[in-house]
Structure 1
Amino acid sequence: MKIDFTEFWDSNYYNNPDLTDEIIIQAERQLGVKLPEIFIKLLKVQNGGYTKGFAFPMRTKTTWADNHIPLSELFGIVLDEKSDSAHNIMQSSYMIEEWGLPDKQVLLTGDGHWWITLDYRLSDKPTIRWIDCECDEDIHVANSFEEFYNRLVSEDEFAEQ
């Protein structure tokens, strides 16, 4: 199910600022990566926040569920170090160190115990990973952010009956 960019976002609870080309350039320079084009397009509609409630169907069981992982929020890009936004990929380096995550990750969402990441370990074109710090899970999710985005479905499809 391909979700229209305008139907993806819910609340920008932390009131992240609008994304500009200058912010993108500076963020990529600081992170040392090139961010996926589809990810940038999403953030230009709303710079991170809560989504309208999506899930990614999984064939591999994770600590989250037997058949999916959640995407109820997606981090944006906030360069202001005084910001208290929890929806911010620029906190990736700190969180990687804090939670003992593998290097070369950009955190897209997570709560500290688990993360969905852009994984740059093998290439400058990232794959998507599910990493659960407490259970030593490091699971391939999708070959690209575009694939990840295009396969998202409503979380209602996994609601318990």
Structure 2
Amino acid sequence: MASHEDLQPPFWDTRSGYGIQPPLTDQAVSEAERLLGVTLPEALLDLLRRQNGGQVSESRSAFPTTRPTSWSSDHVPFDSVMGIGHREQTLSLLDSPYLIEEWGLPADVVVLSGDGHCWIGLDYRTCGRQGQPSVAWFDADDESELALAPDFGSFLRGLTSTAEF
């Protein structure tokens, strides 16, 4: 069976080293799941095993929306993914508890990407902390949210270029 990488344009922007954590290990995954109290989606872990966070290629840097957000009338940005690790000056999935508290996000979320005002995260509120989370957009400024995809694999398949908008 072909992976999502075989079916779509390259995911990572290999010209940038920004946001990349050290190579992902099974121990780091176990630590992250223990700290966050969740089971991370296998599609996310597969992606992070290829490169542990960083900038997303232009061809995969947006997700279309069915309604307007504070960002745009028809899409949200997805320009980077947080990896798993402790590299200084680099946000990580491990920073989710702090970011949730700092920005007033729902407690059962793992933050994947964002800039402080708007975030994309794994939403465990419906499935439970060991289930398959949906992916949602969270706007901390206007306290709104928007479901984007039923799971991380579907989210990856829906990513497209910002140039399409």
Fold match, TM over 0.5?
A: yes
* Match of residue 12 from structure 1: 17
Structural RMSD (CA): 1.6
1:51-90 equivalences under 5 Å are 51-53=56-58, 54-78=61-85, 80=86, 83-86=88-91, 88-90=92-94
Identity of aligned residues (%): 42
**Which structure shows the bigger proportion of residues in strand conformation?**
1
Deviation at 1:15, TM superposition (A): 4.1
Q: Which of 128, 131, 134 is the aligned partner of 1:127?
A: 134
Q: Which of 134, 138, 147 is the aligned partner of 1:140?
A: 147
Q: Which amino acid aligns with 1:99?
A: W
* Match of residue 113 from structure 2: 109
Q: Which amino acid aligns with 2:101?
A: E
Secondary structure in structure 1 of the residue aligned to 2:97: helix
1:15-54 equivalences under 5 Å are 15-53=20-58, 54=61
TM-score of the superposition, structure 1-length normalised?
A: 0.89
C-alpha change, 1:25 and 1:131, in structure 2 (3 Å) is same
* Match of residue 99 from structure 1: 103
CA contact (8 A) 1:12 1:48 kept: no
CA distance in 2, matches of 1:149, 1:99: 25
Secondary structure in structure 1 of the residue aligned to 2:18: coil
Q: Which amino acid aligns with 1:9?
A: W
Structure 1 residue ranges (4+ consecutive) displaced by more than 2 angstroms after TM superposition: 2-6
Aligned pairs, how many? 154
Q: Which amino acid aligns with 1:136?
A: E
TM-score of the superposition, structure 2-length normalised?
A: 0.87
CA distance in 1, matches of 2:153, 2:39: 14
